[in-house]
Amino acid sequence: MRYLDERLPRLGRGRRDRIPRRRGDSAQDNLQERALTRLARAGSSPGGTTVRVVVGLLSVDLFISDAAGLKDRRRVVKSLLDRLTDRHNVAAADLGPDRATQATLAVTTVANDEAHVHRVLNGALNMIRSEPRAVCERAEIEIL
């Protein structure tokens, strides 16, 4: 990545100014220095404080009764996955199997508070259970 995702001061008409490199510095040294500066500004440094990361995983087995083929199954699953990612701050994926009436979904989120992870995943589970075209056979929330 060219600028390590940091915001650069803008010049007129949306152009960005380059960050000047010191003489003798390689591009890699300059990138590492900027990354360490960003970590220090964020309050976490390699030798400093640690940030707690909580990962939550929701796995759901669905039965899709009205699906006559894989196209019907994909339509239901894709619609559900799109709504999950739009309304909740989660990543969601279809894990298979490739049977017309069965689907396994995985939903995950990351936060620094376990209660927040539970709230988000329970909201996602309630949304999945409210889907009229699919029946939730099994649901499991796991905190990693």
Nearest-CA neighbor of 76 among 102, 56, 55?
A: 102
Query: How far apart, in Å, are the Cα atoms of 59 and each of 30, 41, 143?
Result: 42, 36, 12
Q: Per-residue confidence at 1, pLDDT binned at 50, 70, 90?
A: very low
- Model pLDDT for residues 3-22, shown as the tens digit of each residue: 554 555 555 555 554 555 55
Alpha-carbon gap, residue 114 to 67, rounded angstroms: 36
- Model pLDDT for residues 53-109, shown as the tens digit of each residue: 899 999 999 999 888 899 999 999 999 999 999 999 899 999 988 888 999 999 999
- Model pLDDT for residues 119-138, shown as the tens digit of each residue: 999 999 999 999 999 999 99
The model carries a pTM of 0.64
